[in-house]
Amino acid sequence: MEQVPVQVVSETKSHGGTQGVYGHPSAATGTEMTFSVFVPDRPEGTKLPVLWYLSGLTCTHANVTEKGEFRAACAEAGVILVAPDTSPRGDDVPDDADKAYDFGLGAGFYVDATQEPWARNYRMRSYVESELPELIATIFPADMARQGITGHSMGGHGALTIALRNPGRFRSVSAFAPIVSPLNCPWGDKALGGYLGPDRAAWREYDACALIADGARLPNLLVDQGEADGFLAEQLKTQLLVGACAKAGIEAAIRMQPGYDHSYYFISSFMAEHVAWHAGHLHRG
């Protein structure tokens, strides 16, 4: 097997396992990419299920790695957690002219851009759906037959749409405060319009509610949304996902959490429960 050129940025013992940060040249984005992986302690030769975590606007792999409070739960459950970056990075990668937080660097929206100048590098869909899983399967003790996916905000949008477009790949899907319908919010108008162009029909494969309306399904779903989230009414619109799942008959626990906002204080409060919920599905059968 051809050796994969992966650089170890750091590896640190935590909760009996190893928290690592790694870099590699990406064919999908044409840039160097960085991701983090937590591998729990395990008997030699044992492969463990994988939980993907996709981060939100402005974030890198580091946000959840440093603030997500997932390692104790992953160690107890015997689950690997993989956290990729949210967009390509580098001096030659185009960015929003106004350096806005919701487009360009840090805001890849997990799409494969079709518009210039974004199309050359902004291919996070291909990176997360294809390239990075192949790399993870090659160099980590990952059982790729047992995968779950979760994410926050823009990353929740990514988790939902990736799972809906890849039926059978993920045994479990969850999200924290996801953008459920980019077709119906300002963040989506800006990002999908910029990356994909004005044809809104092309946006549907990147909209969870539209994918469900078009026939895509999830095996099960857990969503937590803070009621004090300042983005809830205008950007996140959780009620649209509630309606889409109910109409499609998708088993979904979509929970409104009183007093919680959009921050990692919210995410870390429910992270262990999400990990345990995923583990229940990933270790079954």
Q: Is 171 helix (H, G, I), strand (E, B) or coil?
A: strand
Q: Which phi-psi region, left, alpha or beta, contains residue 67 (left: φ > 0; alpha: ψ -120 to 50)?
A: alpha
Q: Pick from 274, 275, 271, 269: which is nearest to 76 by CA?
A: 275
Any idea which residues carry the catalytic annotation? 153, 229, 262
Range list of β-strands (E), 159-277:
170-176, 221-226, 252-257
Q: d(Cα 274, Cα 82) in Å, to the nearest integer? A: 15
Q: Is 5 helix (H, G, I), strand (E, B) or coil?
A: coil
Cβ pair 22, 36 in contact under 8 A? yes
Partners of 176 in the β-ladder: 152, 224
Q: d(Cα 176, Cα 265) in Å, to the nearest integer? A: 12
Q: d(Cα 68, Cα 227) in Å, to the nearest integer? A: 20
Q: d(Cα 149, Cα 166) in Å, to the nearest integer? A: 12
SS3 content of the chain, % helix, strand, coil (to 5): 35, 25, 40
Q: d(Cα 112, Cα 206) in Å, to the nearest integer? A: 10
